[in-house]
């Protein structure tokens, strides 16, 4: 039956059956991560961690990350890969994924996240989706020149599943696989569209679905974004300085002084660091999904001093998790840092400015800008803001902010996606 289908029919079959398979696998992966976190911390970690003994909070992340690194050492393909890396690796016959590698990758990621490391499950979800799609590609005997299309289908399915956001999944895959064009020109499209909308909305009336929310544009959030840009830019500079300079040099020091032990030094440091951070506040560990949800929905209030502490600890936790080889993405962890910075800015505006704003709006704006700039995914940031909030007061400032901050950051840094530049040569 399959043999009688042309390549477009087989691709259609891959997209349909593969999409169903990816949805099932990603759902099980997310549930496994949730279950493991409850088992490791004897209940909801945000509630149980303050009651657990200090030694236990050091033991769980340290032993977990050592186990993850043992698996990576034996099966290197189970470490974290971006979609572009997978596409290039498969095209050059450098990456091969079997069922065992897929299952071990799921285990590695679930264990890394559940034990408290500040990484997210969206990176592995896109990679798992791509790995499943690649298996269907081989099974259906599709032409090799369609491998990037196949991986795009898988990656979009993985992201759409884990975020429960179909358009975000499509945008992420397109932006990842058409990276050069969108990186070079996409930001200008976003800025032009956002600014043109801001002007036209004063005089013209758009088509509006009456049951939609967030169509009423308030200029104070766009104006406030220009005040917010120096703050979010400074935070991104701080994050990138720690990641690409301080930690990078520390990694080189360990590699030169302790070449035989180098592979294990950062996992142990990572486990001890995460244990210490969880002792101080569990909100600074794990993926940050709960933090983002609380801030953009204004369901919890954080005083400014606590926001500052959690921001610093989350930055430290995210970078340490990457260098410790935690298997997971930084999509949501970066969003959580930006959301904290944005919420704090909103609170500061209400204390110092003659006008008032809702801090949760800037939590959404900050989440999109921080993630979009560092991961070089500006279009995905805007679409995620759209699907998360359906509110122009978040979508338009996010579009303007992610473009301008990207430009300011480019003066000194070249942000990388997913991984710090720890393997580069100078």
**Residue 46 C-beta-side C-alpha neighbours within 13 Å:** 10
CATH of 2-179, one of 1.10.3430.10, 1.20.120.420, 1.10.3080.10, 2.30.300.10: 1.10.3080.10
Across the chain, mean pLDDT equals 83
Q: Is the pLDDT of residue 417 over 50?
A: no
* Buried residues in 178-196 as b, exposed as e (16+ CB within 10 A): ebeebeeebbeebbeebee
Residue 111 near residue 36 (C-beta atoms within 8 A):
yes
Query: pLDDT tens digit string along 278-301?
Result: 999 999 999 888 888 888 887 777
Q: What Rg, from alpha-carbon coordinates, does the chain have?
A: 21
Tell me the sheet residues that pair with 334. none
The total of other beta-carbon atoms located within 10 Å of residue 163's CB is: 21
Residue 150 near residue 159 (C-beta atoms within 8 A):
no
Residue 375 near residue 417 (C-beta atoms within 8 A):
yes
Angle at 30 between CA 382 and CA 362, to 5 degrees: 30
Query: pLDDT tens digit string along 173-202?
Result: 777 666 556 666 667 777 787 777 777 777
Residue 174 near residue 134 (C-beta atoms within 8 A):
no
Q: Is the pLDDT of residue 27 over 70?
A: yes
User: Where do the CATH 1.10.3080.10 domains begin and end in the chain?
Assistant: 2-179, 181-409
CA end-to-end span of the chain: 54
Identify which of 93, 162, 94, 92 has the alpha carbon closest to the alpha carbon of residue 127.
162
Q: CB burial class (10 A; 0-12, 13-18, 19+) of residue 91?
A: middle
Q: pTM of the predicted model, to two decimals?
A: 0.86
Q: Mean pLDDT across the stretch 205-227?
A: 73
The encoded tokens of residue 205 equal 């009336």
CATH of 181-409, one of 1.10.3080.10, 1.10.10.370, 1.10.3720.10, 3.40.50.620: 1.10.3080.10
The encoded tokens of residue 151 equal 């991986």
Residue 285 near residue 118 (C-beta atoms within 8 A):
yes
Query: pLDDT tens digit string along 224-267?
Result: 999 999 999 999 999 999 988 888 888 888 888 888 887 788 89
Query: pLDDT tens digit string along 303-351?
Result: 888 889 999 999 999 999 989 988 888 888 999 999 999 999 999 999 9
**Residue 159 C-beta-side C-alpha neighbours within 13 Å:** 28
Q: CA-CA distance, 407 to 91, in Å (whole number)?
A: 32
Q: Is the pLDDT of residue 94 over 60?
A: no
């Amino acid at each position: 039956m399959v043999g009688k289908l042309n390549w477009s029919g087989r691709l259609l079959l891959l997209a349909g059956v593969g999409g169903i398979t990816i949805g099932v696998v990603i759902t099980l992966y997310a549930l496994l991560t949730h279950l493991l976190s409850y088992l490791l911390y004897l209940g909801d970690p945000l509630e149980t961690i303050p009651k657990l003994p200090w030694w236990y909070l050091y033991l769980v992340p340290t032993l977990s990350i050592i186990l993850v690194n043992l698996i990576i050492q034996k099966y290197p393909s189970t470490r974290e890969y971006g979609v572009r890396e997978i596409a290039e690796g498969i095209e050059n016959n450098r990456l091969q994924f079997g069922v065992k590698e897929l299952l071990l990758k799921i285990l590695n990621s679930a264990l890394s996240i559940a034990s408290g490391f500040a990484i997210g499950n969206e990176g592995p979800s896109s990679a798992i989706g791509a790995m499943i799609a690649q298996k269907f590609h081989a099974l259906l005997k599709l032409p090799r020149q369609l491998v990037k299309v196949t991986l795009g289908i898988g990656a979009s399915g993985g992201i759409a599943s884990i975020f429960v956001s179909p358009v975000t999944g499509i945008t992420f895959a397109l932006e990842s696989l058409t990276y050069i064009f969108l990186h070079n020109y996409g930001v200008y499209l976003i800025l032009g569209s956002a600014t043109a909308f801001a002007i036209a909305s004063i005089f013209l009336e758009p088509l509006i679905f009456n049951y939609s929310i967030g169509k009423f544009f308030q200029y104070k959030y766009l104006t406030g974004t220009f005040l917010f840009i120096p703050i979010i830019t400074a935070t991104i500079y701080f994050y990138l300085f720690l990641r690409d300079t301080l930690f990078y040099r520390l990694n080189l020091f360990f590699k030169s002084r302790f070449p035989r032990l180098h592979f294990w030094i950062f996992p142990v440091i990572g486990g001890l660091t995460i244990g210490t951070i969880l002792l101080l506040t569990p909100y600074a560990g794990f993926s940050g999904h709960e933090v983002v949800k609380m801030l953009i929905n204004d369901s919890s209030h954080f005083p400014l001093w606590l926001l500052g502490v959690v921001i610093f600890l989350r930055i430290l936790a995210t970078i340490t998790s990457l260098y410790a080889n935690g298997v997971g993405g930084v999509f949501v962890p970066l969003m959580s840092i930006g959301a904290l910075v944005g919420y704090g800015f909103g609170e500061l505006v209400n204390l110092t400015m003659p006008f008032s704003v809702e801090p949760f709006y800037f939590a959404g704006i900050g989440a999109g800008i921080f993630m979009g700039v560092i991961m070089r995914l500006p279009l995905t940031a805007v679409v995620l803001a759209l699907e998360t909030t359906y509110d122009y007061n978040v979508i338009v400032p996010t579009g303007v902010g992610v473009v301008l901050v990207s430009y300011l950051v480019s003066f000194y840094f070249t942000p990388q996606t997913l991984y710090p530049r720890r393997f580069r040569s100078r």
